[in-house]
Amino acid sequence: MLKKMMFLSIVLSFFISVPGWAEEKIGDCLACHQRETRGIFQAWVNSKHALKGVDCITCHKSHDEARPKKSAVEPKVCGECHKEKYAQFQQGRHFISWNRMKEHPQYRTLPSPLRKAFCERCHNVQNKCNSCHTSHAFNPEEAREPEACKKCHTGLAGPHDEMYASSLHGTIYAVDKNTVRAPNCVSCHMHKGTHNISFGIVYDSWGNPMNKDGNLLSKEEQEEVRKEMVKGVCFQCHIKSLTLERLELADTVKQRAKALLDEAEKVIRELEHEGILPKGVVLGRNQLYQDSSRIEALYYRMSQFQNVYTWKGAYHFSADFAHWYGWAHLQMSLIEIKEEARKLRELKKLKK
């Protein structure tokens, strides 16, 4: 009974505060969604938006007219109220996620239905706040949990969730959900609630020291970005010597992993120079996983997965990912690439 009374008071408060035509529209929204989509309706009723009078029309409106429309709500609509958060969001890597996806050759080679089923489900974070804040509830407590990030940052392409979960940080947090004892994703990458998720991040997805706009960071800029993370986050729990030691170890792991990747590329470029492989073989960032030779496919695995697991595992302090999923497979893939190169050279001799 108490809940019913609270809901009625919320609804009545809306009708008092909106113009006549809008009152009718909100009534239509509530009546229909209460009957047809109870989950959406209940999520909104229990939200802070509902308590503060943020109704259907406030968010689902056209830019040229204040009438509801059936479509996703763009971040700039949220930014009308959440100005500071939206400005921070524009500074982070989430804000260029959709544009970067559209530029990638792999995305362009996929049929439209597969693009929607695969790439766009995560990269649409650029165009919708509800990638992190679940629709209609928009509970900030939900968005602070690692599960909110897990929607995209998990699995083969970017197992950040698994790396974190297998680290000491993740283990302690899983036990008592206490960010005073151990950090979660938000603690490090959204320091003090910033929506600029580039905070403290030096490298792009490929391990290059770049900002979100694709500009290479100088050594001084890299040090400044890391200093933000170290001073703002790490030193809250760890002494300086231990923090710097762990990060320097991760730096070393990254350098050694890149050296293995470079060695593999050298083997392939030599085959290209000898005429065994065609000129202009694409390796790394813009490489495709279809219509290629076996040796190129081996390099793709090294570059796209194994190298990334190694250095990102090291920076997330997951020995399991850095070693067994990353470093060990990098070594084995390099052996396979060298063996494949030997076979291709022998085949060329036999053909002669």
In a domain, 33, yes or no: yes
Residue at 177 is within a domain? no
Q: Count of CB atoms within 10 A of residue 147's CB?
A: 13
d(CA 295, CA 302): 11
Q: Is residue 182 part of a domain?
A: no
Domain end: 12, 43, 71, which one? 71
Widest pairwise Cα distance in the chain: 89
Residue 25, pLDDT score: 55
Q: Among 36, 71, 106, give the residue marking a domain's end.
A: 71
CA dist list (Å): 106 to 101, 159, 303, 316 = 9, 20, 15, 28
Q: Token pair of 41, please?
A: 């309706």
Q: 304 near 106, Cβ under 8 Å?
A: no
Structural domain includes residue 207: no
pLDDT for position 35: 85
Given this model, what pLDDT does residue 2 score? 44
Residue 203 pairs in a beta bridge with: 209
Calpha distance 76→5 (Å, rounded): 34
Domain with 60 in it: 2-71
Question: Could you say which of 49, 71, 93 is where a domain stops?
Answer: 71
Q: Is residue 125 part of a domain?
A: no
Count how many Cα atoms sit within 13 Å of the Cα of residue 53 in the half-sphere of its side chain: 8
* 230 neighbors 276 (Cβ within 8 angstroms): no
Q: How would you write the pLDDT of the chain (352 residues) with one tens digit per residue?
A: 444 444 445 444 443 344 443 445 566 777 888 888 889 889 999 999 999 989 888 888 754 555 445 568 999 999 999 999 999 999 999 999 999 999 999 999 999 999 999 999 999 999 999 999 999 999 999 999 999 999 999 999 899 999 999 999 999 999 999 999 999 999 999 999 999 999 999 999 999 999 999 999 999 999 999 999 999 999 999 999 999 999 999 999 999 999 999 999 999 999 999 999 999 999 999 999 999 999 999 999 999 999 999 999 999 999 999 999 999 999 999 999 999 999 999 999 999 8
Name residues whose C-beta falls within 8 Å of residue 81's C-beta, 6 or more positions apart in sequence.
54
Task: Please tell me the predicted confidence (pLDDT) of residue 5.
Answer: 43
Residue of 93, 123, 96 lying closest to 110 (CA atoms): 123
Q: What is the pLDDT of residue 237?
A: 94
The CATH number of whichever domain residue 254 belongs to comes to: 1.20.850.10
Q: What single string gives the DSSP state of each residue in 193-242?
A: G-S-TTTT--B-TTS-BB-TTSPBPPHHHHHHHHHHHHHHTGGGTS-HHH
In the numeric block, the tokens 């052996």 are attached to: 335
The count of domains in the chain is 2
- Report pLDDT for 229: 95
Please tell me the distance from the alpha carbon of residue 18 to that of residue 121, in angstroms, as a whole number.
35
> Is there a domain that residue 320 lies in?
yes
96 domain residue, yes or no: no
Query: How high is the pLDDT of residue 299?
Result: 98
φ/ψ (deg, to 5) at 97: -60, -45
Distance CA(199)–CA(224), nearest Å, equals: 11
Report yes or no on 115 lying in a domain. no
Distance CA 221, CA 224 (A): 5
> Cα angle at 182 between 322 and 317, to 5 degrees?
10
